[in-house]
Amino acid sequence: MSISKKSSMDKSKSAQTNQSWGGRFNEPVDDFVARFTASVDFDQRLFRQDIQGSIAHASMLSEVGVLTKTEVQEIISGLESIASEIESGEFAWSTNLEDVHMNIEAALTARIGDVGKKLHTGRSRNDQVATDIRLWLRDEIDTIALLLSALQNGMIELAMTESDTIMPGFTHLQTAQPVTFGHHLLAWNEMLERDFGRLKDCRKRLNYCPLGAAALAGTTYPINRNHTAVTLNFDQPTENSLDSVSDRDFAIEFCAFASILLTHLSRMSEELILWTSAQFQFINLPDRFCTGSSIMPQKKNPDVPELVRGKTGRVNGHLVCLLTLMKSQPLAYNKDNQEDKEPLFDTVDTVRDCLRAFADMIPAIEANKSAMYEAAKRGFSTATDLADYLVGTGIAFRDAHEIVGKAVAYGIAEHKDLSDMSLEELVQFSDQIKDDVFSVLTLEGSVAARDHIGGTAPNQVKAAATRAAGKVACR
């Protein structure tokens, strides 16, 4: 066989096999296998970060003298034109080119010729994809942080407005003690404040640059890892090349943040759903957050909180998916990791939508103050206040508890709240009860008496709302 014949055979072979590894292969990848192993349908979402990473890598290569200035100029303008073509929706993605990385690289070479083939010098798709997802998730975290702050601001503002609106506080979903609605809203805000902290922690730990780890062991070129790390706004390069290409902790950590956040949103949703019911009637949600029923004309369903509650399931599922994906994986990169993207993408989308829905809906809550007040009066919510009053007269708490228990039993039989009983009725249970008792038996007296940091007294709620708003403003 003549040399020229051999080289023409080689050409036709590599035309059918993937250009990136055609050299070693004797037959093209099976059509089904090509589809099965491809990720381009979903990872094209990383195209901006892929191009951003490639530009940083190419600039570094020219900085250290591996590429010439002219070469890097051509590479960068080629990549930029590919970026605008993708943005405009005109880019033709090919499943045969497997993923976003190889699609862009092939397009670059098609556009600028052989110099495009130099872009992949000193890197691998393994450190490339690890970099792309970190860059992508970092941007998403920044957007999510803004949405979370917007939700918190709306919640804190409502808490301020409702700082002296009285409602029943529950334990075991049974009336416990009166609280203010503002206090309840600030309890929700505390959950979100911790979620924000978790999100920030996650961002801090992911902000290391894996570029330069190459396939797994590093590269023989005189690369400058600090250069790429700084260009891409990472705090530092990652420490260990094996870990760099295999680590997906940051995705797991984000999904753990998301699971806890959605768990919190599901708890809030549950309360909103209960409160809008005809049985509670504590709040009204404007019609734009609700839907009707096709058969029951009277229905107004709280679909938005119901859906948020439901979406907690898929987000928890994605967390378990990623944990299981990484469980027992040997170092370093394994193809399994391609499965990290869809759960992560869907988690981000779900978190964004749920936060947006909540940020719009929470400030629109209309509190039905009289229904809340009436509900707080039912269920002897000031019984503990009466016991505390008796303790003030020198009675031991356990005895006071017993006395009030009897008064409550009397109230149940007579259908009377403690505050509706006359002094004559109350002294039957203890002669220590005087007519100053009524100031502690009222709902207003009860909440005002819990006057310390973290308590439900309206002035404390206002102060807490101011502190909470200050924390959000300082971010």
**Which pair of tokens denotes residue 346?**
């869907």
Give the C-alpha separation, 467 to 470, whole Å.
Answer: 5
The DSSP annotation for 31-73 comes to HHHHHHH--HHHHGGGHHHHHHHHHHHHHHHHHTTSS-HHHHH
Among 228, 338, 419, 430, binds ligand ARG (CB under 6 A): 338
Whether 184 is catalytic is no
**Which pair of tokens denotes residue 158?**
């409502």
User: Can residue 129 be called a binding residue for ligand ARG (CB under 6 A)?
Assistant: yes
Cα→Cα distances 29→7, 13, 14, 87, 110, Å = 21, 11, 11, 30, 22
Among 49, 54, 103, 126, binds ligand ARG (CB under 6 A): 126
Whether the Cβ atoms of residue 315 and residue 347 lie closer than 8 Å to each other: yes
Give the C-alpha separation, 382 to 443, whole Å.
Answer: 7
User: Residue 211 CB, nearest distance to ligand ARG (Å)?
Assistant: 14
C-alpha triplet 157, 162, 167: angle, nearest 5°: 140
Instruction: Indicate the residue among 5 and 335 with the shorter CB distance to ligand ARG.
Output: 335
The DSSP annotation for 312-365 comes to HHHHHHHHHHHHHHHTTPPSS--GGGGGGHHHHHHHHHHHHHHHHHHHHHGGG-
User: Residue 75 CB, nearest distance to ligand ARG (Å)?
Assistant: 20
Residue of 172, 370, 415, 452 marked catalytic: 172
User: Can residue 54 be called a binding residue for ligand ARG (CB under 6 A)?
Assistant: no
Count interface residues toward ligand ARG (CB under 6 A).
Answer: 10
User: Can residue 123 be called a binding residue for ligand ARG (CB under 6 A)?
Assistant: no
Question: Could you give the string, one character per residue 21-40, with x where binding to ligand ARG holds by CB under 6 A and - elsewhere?
Answer: ------------------x-
Whether 77 is catalytic is no
User: Can residue 333 be called a binding residue for ligand ARG (CB under 6 A)?
Assistant: yes
Q: Which stretch binds ligand ARG (CB under 6 A): 121-129, 393-401, 424-432, 446-454?
A: 121-129
Sequence-separated (6 or more) residues with CB below 8 Å from residue 474: none
- Single out the residue of 474, 468, 475 nearest to residue 154, CA to CA: 468
Q: Which stretch binds ligand ARG (CB under 6 A): 124-132, 184-192, 196-204, 386-394?
A: 124-132
Among 24, 69, 172, 335, binds ligand ARG (CB under 6 A): 335
Q: Which stretch binds ligand ARG (CB under 6 A): 122-130, 195-203, 205-213, 377-385?
A: 122-130
User: Residue 307 CB, nearest distance to ligand ARG (Å)?
Assistant: 30
Q: Which residues are catalytic?
A: 172, 293
Binding site residues, ligand ARG, CB under 6 A: 39, 43, 99, 125-126, 129, 333, 335, 337-338
